[in-house]
Amino acid sequence: MPANSRQGERTMAKNKANIDLKQSFEKIRNDLSHFIDLSQQEDEKSWLDWIASITTKIETKCWERKNCKNINCPAYKNSCGRCWIIAGTMLPGAIHCDFAQKYESCKTCEVYQDAVCRDPITEIEEHLFVLVHSLRQRQQELKEIATTDFLTEIHNRRFFDSYLSHEYEKIKRNDTSLAIMMIDVDFFKEINDSYGHGMGDQVLKECAQILLKATRQSDMVARYGGDEFIIALHENQQNQNHPSVLIKRIEEYLAHRNSCKGKNVPALSLSFGYAILTKNKDIAETIKKADENMYSDKARRKTMQ
């Protein structure tokens, strides 16, 4: 073969390699850029959208390669295909995949090696994806810690304030309304003094569960501080979710709880107050009004004792 022909083939091969390399890095750049855009949204859907849109798809199917029939495994027939971050050792926390438990790291598994270790670019790209996934997972864990009440395990005031700010923008855009309800445990100090703080904690947990059962998924329940809870209540045209209807539902749960309580367990009662937030009202003023109405209800209940 003439020297110039060999030189031409080498040049063509080099050019093709450069094009492939450029395309590979362009894929990585686009995927990571897309992730940065979605991460600003900080919601689970944006994360799932990014996972689904990753340019590099995984053709190796772990359930076929391992002849796995475990339909309860999160990775089983998962469209993402990345079993190492869905159910394996690269997932923060417990390992869900039976096969992954046999490995110190999924990197030594033939599924990972076939899918990832084909060439250096694919391997580097996957390392970046695993890193991004791990950081996102930690971000979500820290966010949950920061926005969850440690005792009752419902949302805390920090989360509620952020939620209400977003809802208020919707109210102003759509000219709708939102009921804000304040709830306080009656005689909570007496419960702590007579039964101990452990019982007081148990009462708060029970209250949280009763409020969750009484409300709809579209409503927002949070511990506002101390023995106070707050609910953002979305009303509907049929008034089935009017605050007075919700209060009646909560009191029915309380009555059932008190009828079934143990001998050395205090009775539980709550005081309620609500106000309606509209586009012409201030958030702080509406919460203050609901709080005032709640204390009026508490005073009324004391006179009935």
Q: How far apart are CA 156 and CA 119, in angstroms?
A: 48
**CA-wise closest residue to 84 among 64, 70, 104, 54:** 104
Q: Name the catalytic one among 227, 282, 291, 297.
A: 227
Cβ-in-10-Å burial (0-12, 13-18, 19+) of 231 comes to buried
CB atoms within 10 A of CB 222: 26
Cβ 285 vs Cβ 269: under 8 Å: no
Spell out the SS3 assignment of 197-235: HHHHHHHHHHHHHHHHHHCCCCCEEEEEECCEEEEEECC
227 noted as active-site residue: yes
Secondary structure of residue 116 in the 3-state scheme: helix
A 10 A CB-CB count for 125 gives: 21
Q: Are 294 and 182 in contact (CB under 8 A)?
A: yes
Cα–Cα distance, 18 to 198 (Å, whole number): 68
Give the active site residues.
227
